[in-house]
Amino acid sequence: MKLTAPLAALGRAVLALVAAIGRVSIFTANTLSHIVRGPFYVRELLGSIIQIGYFSLPVVGLTAFFTGGALALQIFAGGARFNAEAVVPQIVAIGMVRELGPVLVGLMIAARVTSSVAAEIATMKVTEQIDALVTLSTNPTKYLTVPRVVAATLVMPILVGVGDIIGVFGGYLVSTQRLGFNASAYLQNTVDFLEFTDISSSLLKGAVFGFIAALMGCYYGMNSARGAQGVGQATKAAVVAAAVLILAANFVLTEVFFSA
Amino acid sequence: MITLDNIHKSFGNNHVLRGVNLHVDRGESMVIIGGSGTGKSITIKSVLGLVKHDSGSITVDGQDIDTGDRDAFLARFGMLFQGGALFDSLSVWQNVAFRLLRGSLKRPKDEARDIAIEKLRRVGLTADVADRFPSELSGGMQKRVGLARAIATNPEIIFFDEPTTGLDPIMSGVINDLIREIVVEMGATAVTITHDMTSVRAIADKVAMLHNGVIQWSGPVSELDATDDPFVRQFITGSADGPIEAIR
């Protein structure tokens, strides 16, 4: 009996994982089906765009700026080992736009937006506000989930674009003020080196990460257990799931775009 | 009007409803009493479809609740939740007029606001409350706003879930009187769940006692004090001795 206990535990874990994937898949399909069917709550969508997009700009800007600056310092120091200090503009550009921009913005959004969405919806569930919505003939998925998911999917490419630009600017500022690069040559190298695919893949990644971040917040909020502990657990689980899924999606998208 | 026939509902191994049979006539005020955790809330949430019952049937005017247009079905109901369940992000008048601002009952914004303020007046709140947010109100005021929201569209059927829980005796009396007045003047069918016997006597035409997952006793409120049902006797006297275990 004891010999099979680890196998039984493993089986339970696998079953739980499969069940969780199934629940998330059904939730995702349900959300997508409501996106294309009315009624549409435009006011809630605009509110979500302001909350998720506009109010995330400071944290996105600061994160990208410091990362771009640190990246320039690292590449300069690392490049000096084989006389390749001159590649700082190109590596900062490609590093920020292809990888660090979308991933860091995605993770910051997971921290800021996923947590707040999960906590808000979980609290609504605990205080019977979700039930109240239903009794008021309003579908909670349409009213709560769809506006947040659509807003995050729409504004994330913009946030990533802003993050990319500020990140490159951070690298530019450190390179020209601290490392002695020529300003116009730095900008010219950056512009010349970037390709359309770099930018488009970055923005597409942003849209996917935004979808994941908002969806996880809504899913865990809607499925929260009762009480303050339930809200806390839902928030924590939502942020963890969003962060892991964003990193996994980043790998898959990078493989798709740049594996050739 | 509302008929529950042999309703069963379990959560895992916890069999909450074990065959509930209940009938509420049109225009009647039915109060369901019972101890905490006996399934009173689950019973009314089953009628609204907020909780899916495992077996049995629930009909409203002879039509099964799982058939027909769901929006039209829900438009017949209003509900006052135990904690008010007001939407934090909306002002008081937007909470009250929630149904009037969207969906099939949508009205122009000014008209919806006027109706909301009228309903707030009906529950004893002044117009200056309309632009406040729920977090700025006391518990009693939140209950009144919840009541105003429940009656905003003049529904045929109103559910009240523990309407006086958490209120002081005076405010409880005010809410009880309001519920009774509103139900009478609207001619609505009302189902209230409570374990507050003062509420029962103020609100009820009929009383049903839920215990062990079934309706243990039901009858007119005038017969409540005269019944020799040991469960009802113990409940209304608040005695620790009797068939209901004091420690659950």
Which tens digit of pLDDT belongs to each residue from B20-68?
A: 999 999 999 999 999 888 899 999 999 999 999 999 999 999 999 988 8
Are residues A154 and A29 both part of a single domain? no
Residues in chain B whose Cβ is within 8 Å of chain A: 45, 48-50, 71, 74-75, 77-79, 81-83, 85-88, 98-99, 102-105, 149
A33 and A63: one domain? no
Pair A32, A52 in one domain: no
| A-interface mutation test, from B47, B50, B100, most A Cβ less than 10 A away | B50
Interface test with B, best of A130, A136, A222 (most B CBs within 10 A): A136
Whole-angstrom Cα distance, residue B58 to residue B48? 10
CB spacing of B81 vs A134 below 8 angstroms? no
Residues A21 and A62 in one domain: no
Q: Where are the domains of chain B?
A: 2-237
* Same domain, yes or no: A154 and A219: yes
B102 to A39: CB separation less than 8 angstroms, yes or no? yes
- The ipTM estimated for the assembled molecules is 0.88
User: Which stretches of chain B drop beneath a pLDDT of 50?
Assistant: none
* pLDDT score of B167: 81
Interface test with B, best of A46, A135, A148, A231 (most B CBs within 10 A): A135
What is d(CA B153, CA B151) in angstroms, rounded to the nearest whole number?
Answer: 6
**What CA–CA distance (Å, rounded) separates A242 from B116?**
40
**The pair of three-digit structure tokens given for residue B228, joined into one six-digit string:** 């020799």
Q: Which CATH architecture has domain B2-237?
A: 3-Layer(aba) Sandwich (3.40)
Query: Do B75 and A137 lie within an 8 Å CB cutoff?
Result: yes
Q: Is B133 helix (H, G, I), strand (E, B) or coil?
A: coil
Question: Between A41, A127, A138, which is nearest B85 by CB?
Answer: A127
Q: What is the pTM of this model?
A: 0.88
Question: B149 and B98 in contact (C-beta within 8 Å)?
Answer: yes
Residue from the list B49, B83, B98 with its beta carbon closest to the beta carbon of A136: B98
User: What per-residue confidence (pLDDT) applies to B130?
Assistant: 94
Q: Are residues A45 and A134 in the same domain?
A: yes
Number of domains in chain A: 2
A203/A206 Cα distance (integer angstroms) = 5
Are A17 and A128 contained in the same domain?
no
> What residues in chain A have per-residue pLDDT under 70?
1, 260
Same-domain check for residues A123 and A47:
yes
Which pLDDT does position A148 carry in this prediction? Answer: 97
> Containing domain of residue A44, as a range?
40-258
Cα A154 to Cα A112, A151, A159, A209, A211: the distances in Å are: 17, 5, 10, 11, 9
Task: Check whether residue A31 and residue A153 sit in a common domain.
Answer: no
Same domain, A59 and A26: no
Question: What was the pLDDT predicted at B247?
Answer: 52
Specify the DSSP class assigned to residue B155.
-
* pLDDT at residue A260, as a whole number: 54
Query: What three-state secondary structure class fits A74?
Result: helix
- Residue B83 to chain A, least CA–CA distance (Å): 7
- Residue B1: per-residue pLDDT: 87
Comparing CB atoms, the residue among B48, B102, B149 nearest residue A138 is: B102
Cβ–Cβ < 8 Å for A223, A235: no
Q: Which residues of A touch B147 (CB under 8 A)?
A: none
Instruction: For residues A5 and A83, state if they share a domain.
Output: no
| A209 and A251 housed in the same domain | yes
Give A51: exposed, middle or buried? Use CB within 10 Å, 0-12, 13-18, 19+: buried
pLDDT for B246 equals 63
pLDDT value for B108? 94
Question: How far apart are the CA of A128 and the nearest CA of chain B, in angstroms?
Answer: 5
Q: Give the model's pLDDT for residue B140.
A: 86
> Looking at CA atoms only, how far is residue A217 from chain B in angstroms?
18
